[in-house]
Amino acid sequence: MSNIVIVGTQWGDEGKGKVVDLLAEKADHVVRFQGGNNAGHTMIVEGEQFISHLIPSGIIQKKVCYIGNGVVVDPTVLLEEIDTLSSRGIDLSPKMLRLSEKAHVIMPYHKSIDNARELKKGDKKIGTTGRGIGPCYEDKATRRGIRFCDFKEMDLFKEKVRSIMEEKNFYLEKFFGTDTLDTEAIIDEYVEIAKKLLPYITDTSVEVGDGIKKGDNVLFEGAQGTHLDIEHGTYPYVTSSSTVSGNACCGSGVGPKDIHGVVGIVKAYTTRVGEGPFVTELFDEIGTAIQKKGAEFGATTGRKRRCGWFDMVILRNSARLNGLTDLAITKLDVLDDLKEIKICTSYKYNGESIENFPASIKTLENCEPVYETMPGWEEDITGVRKFEDLPENAQKYLKRLEELSETRISIVSVGPDREETMVLNDLM
């Protein structure tokens, strides 16, 4: 039995979907434990691309997938995703996909508020995905949320929606000056949605727990990245859930003794979508070249991702916050053409050296990266399948990352396809 948590170490889009799909071969169950359809996870298998926002990336490997209690779920998006993936021959019957009765439901007003709030903030906006994630977690915390178990008690559901919408419509109209929503139309829509989703709704904690008792292998799939974490990220430029490994337990209803490893997914450089500080961001032609070669466009919103050099201050922070046991380095091939490659090893702030990631946004915005420069390899590595066959400078780059982060590299990805991967240590 081996239960592994997969987390993003940077600002999301590190290639979690690809690694989860790869490792899912040996898993019996795959569980999403936080976030919602702000995530976009891409898997490519034999040239065929699959993108999922809510359904765990283990589904392509035909593993039982769970949407845990810590996830916020837009049911219309979930139904669409079930249809899209089913039409491509993937089994998404309730036998294969289980939805926590405790997960919170993203309602239309959450999306309206998310977008209205961003608009009102103008240039101070967070750059959210506009999917209603923050407002849904907000209602969870203030104990006014709708949960999937409410779909089993429709009279109660209707009562809750009528009561909460009075307040939401007041807020939309009076504070944001935007259109109000039709409560009864929403109720009618959700009655139909509930009928379709009922067979999937269950106590996922019990089901995953039963699997663990039997000695099954479980993969816990994180969304976003450590520096988008609500506690530890670049607050307020973060998402609204805890993205670190500790939340795999809370967000799926398992205890910490059942976790055996934590794999941090690390892009061989850094990217970020949306607003917020980014110390190693590149504004020159190298940044543009990385953006182009890495096809750095968001899988959810299509926005261009900001690109920069590798930031070891961030990875060290992630290693500690998540208790990383292994690293999976992705997109190494994107650096193929570069003459020189830089690693930021510390920051300089007001003439002083900073080794640990600061909490203050103002400090971060004024930090300068201190770089170590390494020679590039300037050759195509997408066909390489063994570490020893990588160009010497690529091996040196990886060894340096390992050394500076004090964490072993167990997976190296050199292309988007499942096959374009080297597994250096077996994890499950």
Positions in the binding site for ligand GDP (CB under 6 A): 8, 12-18, 39-42, 44, 299, 330-331, 333-334, 413-416
Minimum gap (Å) between residue 376 Cβ and ligand IMO: 26
Identified binder of ligand IMO from the candidate list 133, 146, 279, 364, rule CB under 6 A: 133
Nearest-5° angle of CA 234, CA 3, CA 268?
45
Active-site residue (options: 41, 104, 110, 232): 41
The amino acid occupying position 181 is: L
Residue number, 6 or 113, with CB nearest to ligand GDP = 6
- Kindly report the length of the chain: 428
Stretch of 21-29, 68-76, 90-98, 129-137 lying at the interface with ligand IMO (CB under 6 A): 129-137
CA distances from 318 to 8, 182, 190, 271, 309 (A): 9, 44, 39, 15, 17
Nearest-5° angle of CA 289, CA 293, CA 299?
115
Minimum gap (Å) between residue 214 Cβ and ligand GDP: 29
CB burial class (10 A; 0-12, 13-18, 19+) of residue 72? buried
Nearest Cα residue to 221 out of 38, 2, 5, 403: 5
Residue number, 58 or 108, with CB nearest to Mg ion = 58
- Distance in angstroms (rounded) separating the CA atoms of residues 108 and 110: 5
Residue number, 134 or 416, with CB nearest to ligand GDP = 416
Minimum gap (Å) between residue 193 Cβ and ligand GDP: 26
Residues 357-396: x where in contact with Mg ion by CB under 5 A, - otherwise, as a string: ----------------------------------------
Minimum gap (Å) between residue 223 Cβ and Mg ion: 8
On the CB side of 329, CA atoms within 13 Å amount to: 27
Residue number, 176 or 387, with CB nearest to ligand GDP = 387
Provide the β-strand partners of residue 327. 264, 409
* Sequence-distant (≥ 6) Cβ neighbours of residue 250 within 8 angstroms: 33, 70, 242
DSSP 154-223: HHHHHHHHHHHHHHHHHIIIIII------HHHHHHHHHHHHHHHGGGEE-HHHHHHHHHHHT--EEEE--
Q: Which of ligand IMO, Mg ion, ligand GDP, none sits in contact with 346, Cβ below 5 to 8 A by type?
A: none
Stretch of 7-15, 116-124, 209-217, 395-403 lying at the interface with Mg ion (CB under 5 A): 7-15
Active-site residue (options: 13, 21, 139, 150): 13
- Distance in angstroms (rounded) separating the CA atoms of residues 259 and 267: 24
Decide the pairing of beta strands 72-73 and 104-105.
parallel
Q: Which of ligand GDP, ligand IMO, Mg ion, none sits in contact with 128, Cβ below 5 to 8 A by type?
A: ligand IMO
Stretch of 6-14, 165-173, 382-390, 399-407 lying at the interface with ligand IMO (CB under 6 A): 6-14
* Sequence-distant (≥ 6) Cβ neighbours of residue 204 within 8 angstroms: 31, 66, 67, 68, 69, 98, 99, 100, 101, 252, 253
Stretch of 5-13, 51-59, 74-82, 203-211 lying at the interface with Mg ion (CB under 5 A): 5-13
Whether 41 is catalytic is yes
**Site for Mg ion, residues 272 to 311, rule: CB under 5 A:** 299
Minimum gap (Å) between residue 17 Cβ and ligand IMO: 8
Minimum gap (Å) between residue 369 Cβ and ligand GDP: 23
Residue number, 290 or 319, with CB nearest to ligand GDP = 290
Minimum gap (Å) between residue 159 Cβ and ligand IMO: 28
List interacting residues with Mg ion (CB under 5 A).
13, 40, 299
Indicate which residues carry an active-site annotation: 13, 41
